[in-house]
Structure 1
Amino acid sequence: MITDATPRSAEEALRWQLRRIGSSAWEGWALRFQRLAFGYASEAGWRHCSEGLAWFTEHDLVSDGTPPRGALAWFEVGGRVTVRGSLGDGQVIGPGVDGRIGVIAHDTLGRYLGWTPAIFPFAR
């Protein structure tokens, strides 16, 4: 069963992420960063962001337009799929902003692929 209930609310997840701005410890771990932000300790079931996006695509859960606050925003950067948390108003947060956790306009990160609800169906 697919549910959008997560251990942490979207607001709690965004606060968790904002407290880590400037950290370089998460570089290369965009999916793990989002999973942990939403309160899951175990792996998401996807090794790479591209696998996560493929799952959302197969379940018809990818939307166009500016991602709403608390959604997962998906991008292609340097030929690889990556994910960030949406702060709303066109801003996203996650690793990869000058090698650190940072906030960036969603339309400047890379090729925008769409947004999905913050669902981690295989994480515990």
Structure 2
Amino acid sequence: MWKYFNVRTTATVAAVVGLVVAVVPGTASAAAASAPGTVNTAGSPLTVRSGPGTSYDSWRTVADGAGVTLLCQTSGESVTGTYGTTKLWDLLSNGGMVSDAYIYTGSDGQVVNNCTYVGDEPASKKNPRAANGAINWAFQRYGSSAYENMCLSFVAQAYGWGGSGWNTAEIGGDWESSHGYLHTTGIPPRGALTWYHNSTGQGHVAISLGEGKVVSTSVSGQVGVAGYTDHGMYRGWSVAYLPAAW
């Protein structure tokens, strides 16, 4: 979680020395659920990505000097930027990630909680893609209307399958519930499948980005980011286990 020495405050040398003494590498010092930050790239827009690395999909930018809200932080690709070199990546309030090397937070360390990832699916049916890879696949289709009424196929393909093997998301959610995989409390962790009832009886499913955000079909008629309860009739979340997938 350390960056090479490039302190973000105008503190005196004595204060900086005190800060260095107080922080122990590898120690989690964050406890906040969210924190403000400011983009500082010295001019260029900052790329917001689907995951914690420059190989993940670029889906929007944030202007230099813009204010952002950090929801959680996670370790990823090492990046050198305005504030030194760091492996720390920030999940923003819109669901995308940026390198902390370009975000002024008043600290060179972690300022919010670790991003929580969903647990592994059973080894008997491992997904071809892991959580960040699935989210990246979904973001590559951001804004597409081609997956309307295909939410279950969308999440199955995101995780690397040809299809889910279930006829509807309602059936899938029922299976997760009856087999003890459906959690009805807590905010869905990153990579979880979030399940819903709907008015047609077909149900709905999305992929959690963590901290209350999902990437999903049927966000204003296309693939987009929404709050995990925005769809209504929320059922709960599960690990990304698709036992009938092919």
TM-score computed with the length of structure 1 as normaliser: 0.92
1:63 aligns with 2:183: yes
Give 5+ residue unaligned stretches, structure 1: none
CA contact (8 A) 1:4 1:117 kept: no
Per the alignment, residue 47 of structure 1 pairs with 167
Q: RMSD over aligned Cα, in angstroms? A: 1.5
Where does 1:75-90 land on structure 2 (aligned, <5 Å)? Answer: 75-80=196-201, 81-90=203-212
Tell me what 2:225 maps to.
103
Residue 120 of structure 1 pairs with residue 242 of structure 2: yes
1:119 shift after superposition: 0.8
TM superposition shift of 1:6: 0.6
Matched, 1:93 2:215: yes
Aligned residues: 123
Q: 1:11 to 1:67 in 2, by over 3 A?
A: same
Runs of 4+ in 1 over 6 A off after TM superposition: none
For residues 78-99 of structure 1, give each alpha carbon's deviation from its aligned partner in whole angstroms, at most 9, with x where no partner exists.
3531000000010011110110
Distance 1:107 1:89, change over 3 A: same
% of aligned pairs identical? 37
Name which one, 1 or 2, has greater alpha-carbon Rg. 2
Q: Please state whether the residue corresponding to 1:54 is helix, strand or coil.
A: helix
- The letter for the 1-side match of 2:196 is F
The CA deviation at 1:2 is: 6.4
Query: Which of the two has greater helix per residue?
Result: 1
Counterparts of 1:59 and 1:21 in 2: how far apart (Å)?
32
2:137 corresponds in structure 1 to 16
AA paired with 2:190?
R
> Which segments of 5 or more consecutive residues in structure 2 lack a partner in the other structure?
1-121
Change (3 A) 1:75 1:34: same
Distance (whole Å) between structure 2 residues aligned to residue 3 and residue 90 of structure 1? 29
Structure-2-length-normalised TM-score: 0.48
The 2-side partners of 1:99 and 1:118 are apart by 24
Distance 1:114-1:73 versus aligned 2 partners, 3 A rule: same
- Larger RCO: Structure 1 or Structure 2 (Cα < 8 Å, ≥ 6 residues apart)? 1
